[in-house]
Structure 1
Amino acid sequence: MRGPKWLALALVTAIHDEAIYEFGGLGGMRDTGLLESALDRPRNRLAYQPETTVFELAASLCFGLAKNHPFVDGNKRTALLAARAFLFVNGYLLEPAEEDEVLTMVAVAEDSVSEQQLAEWMQRNSTRDGS
């Protein structure tokens, strides 16, 4: 795959802040290092597994954010929104049904879905951005 476009720490922080503003919850960063670690996760995967798909990278980012809990609140929402933004800047629109989004992110948090299953779900629910 051609080199992906990555999300900056400031963008993911802004995504989190907007999600808290829009949906409620406690704002604030719990640990910047955990956010940096989550953002580096897909980069490291690509470095060691160059055949990785954009959906696997998005799932890696999503898992990192959801599991690391870098924010005080809203980690699952931020994880999904950041994965959606990552796919968008790399040419895809992630558009699952809202209920499916919620169930999938709860499954991620409960360890009842694997990172690979999340990548496959993202691929099934994405279309190529024609713009």
Structure 2
Amino acid sequence: MRYLTSKEVVFLNIFLIKQYSPKEQAGVKHANLLESAIARPKQTLYGKDAYPTIDLKAAALFESLCQNHPFHNANKRTGFAAMKQFLWVNGMNLIAPQKEAEEFTVKVVTEKPDLQEIAKWIKKYSVLR
């Protein structure tokens, strides 16, 4: 399993802001929240993965980045992009329709669905590449 680094996720944040909202401040606002989000998919409990499947690991990363707000701006965009990149580097491709992906990303922040629901959505739209 290949996990994203904080440097990679910061790069995504800066890229997304430069691409879509260049007047917004880019970069890390709370380094500890970023590190926590990056570490979450790797967590173990009594020697076993706390998130044993790729969709649960991706969901943990996505949820943490979106809800913890570690960046000045573009937390939802960065969370979604990081989740998609995590899947990609692990041989998967997320093929969700754009409108549905946007709506679900907002839902993750506003309605705070449980991790199983997020993982189920990710699994629904993930395919081997």
Alpha-carbon deviation of 1:95? 1.4
Report the 3-state secondary structure (helix = DSSP H, G, I; strand = E; otherwise coil) of the residue aligned with 2:93: strand
Give RMSD over aligned pairs. Answer: 1.2
TM score, norm. by length of structure 2: 0.91
* Separation in structure 1 between the aligned mates of residue 78 and residue 112 of structure 2, nearest angstrom: 19
Q: Which residue of 2 aligns with 1:27?
A: 26
Farther-moved stretch of structure 1 (73-82 vs 106-115): 106-115
Q: Which residue of 2 aligns with 1:5?
A: 2
Aligned residues: 124
Report the 3-state secondary structure (helix = DSSP H, G, I; strand = E; otherwise coil) of the residue aligned with 1:33: helix
TM score, norm. by length of structure 1: 0.89
Amino acid of the structure 2 residue aligned with 1:22: Q
Report the 3-state secondary structure (helix = DSSP H, G, I; strand = E; otherwise coil) of the residue aligned with 1:70: coil
Unaligned runs of 5+ in 2: none
Alpha-carbon deviation of 1:96? 0.5
* Separation in structure 1 between the aligned mates of residue 102 and residue 96 of structure 2, nearest angstrom: 10
Unaligned runs of 5+ in 1: none
Amino acid of the structure 1 residue aligned with 2:13: H
User: % of aligned pairs identical?
Assistant: 30
Report the 3-state secondary structure (helix = DSSP H, G, I; strand = E; otherwise coil) of the residue aligned with 1:62: helix
Alpha-carbon deviation of 1:104? 0.3
Q: Which residue of 2 aligns with 1:60?
A: 60
Cα–Cα, structure 1 residues 10 and 106, in superposed 2: closer, same or farther, change >3 Å?
same
Q: Which residue of 1 aligns with 2:80?
A: 80
Q: Which residue of 1 aligns with 2:108?
A: 108
Farther-moved stretch of structure 1 (91-100 vs 107-116): 107-116
